[in-house]
């Protein structure tokens, strides 16, 4: 699970491949949200907490801080990034591109969050990137631009 069903072993851009793994999970979470927003929020929160625990275990297994093989953080971040997106290509593509952008550039405070030790530091920068993406995508949707 911490490697995104093996996506973290991809030799090039494992974080991007891990984000691709997150797309169907995001669509499923949004399907849940269409029925019960509270259940979807609970599921998202539970996934984030589980991702932190798994990332911590992944660091222990791989003996490396934020190993590139750990992609559960990208999955958790994208679940937040794509939250409440309609199941259409444009909003999900925008969420994917924006999330990868924010995950790579580590806009404040993501860079600081990444410095936190353990699983919290591994996942928190991705959740921040996901939050930035969520806000922008929701504004684009609200403005009719997506």
Kindly report, residue by residue over 5-63, the tens digit of the pLDDT. Answer: 777 776 889 889 999 999 999 999 999 999 999 999 999 999 999 999 999 998 899 88
Report CA-CA distances (Å) from 26 to 40, 70, 99, 113, 121: 10, 18, 13, 23, 22
Tell me the pTM.
0.94
pLDDT tens-place string over residues 107-132: 999 889 888 989 999 999 999 999 99
Which one, of 64, 46, 43, lies nearest residue 55 by Cα? 64
Q: CA-CA distance, 91 to 48, in Å (whole number)? A: 22
């Amino acid at each position: 699970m911490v490697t995104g069903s093996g996506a973290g072993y991809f030799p090039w851009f494992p974080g991007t491949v891990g984000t691709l793994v997150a797309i169907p999970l995001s669509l499923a979470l949004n399907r849940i949200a269409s029925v019960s927003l509270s259940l979807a929020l609970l599921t998202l929160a539970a996934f984030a907490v589980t991702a932190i625990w798994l990332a911590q275990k992944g660091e222990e297994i791989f003996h490396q801080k934020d190993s590139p093989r750990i992609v559960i953080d990208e999955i958790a971040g994208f679940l937040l990034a794509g939250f409440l997106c309609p199941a259409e290509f444009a909003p999900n593509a925008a969420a994917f591109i924006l999330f990868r952008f924010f995950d790579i550039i580590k806009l404040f405070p993501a860079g600081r969050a990444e410095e936190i030790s353990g699983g919290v530091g591994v996942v928190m920068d991705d959740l921040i990137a996901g939050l930035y993406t969520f806000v922008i995508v929701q504004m684009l949707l609200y403005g009719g631009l997506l």
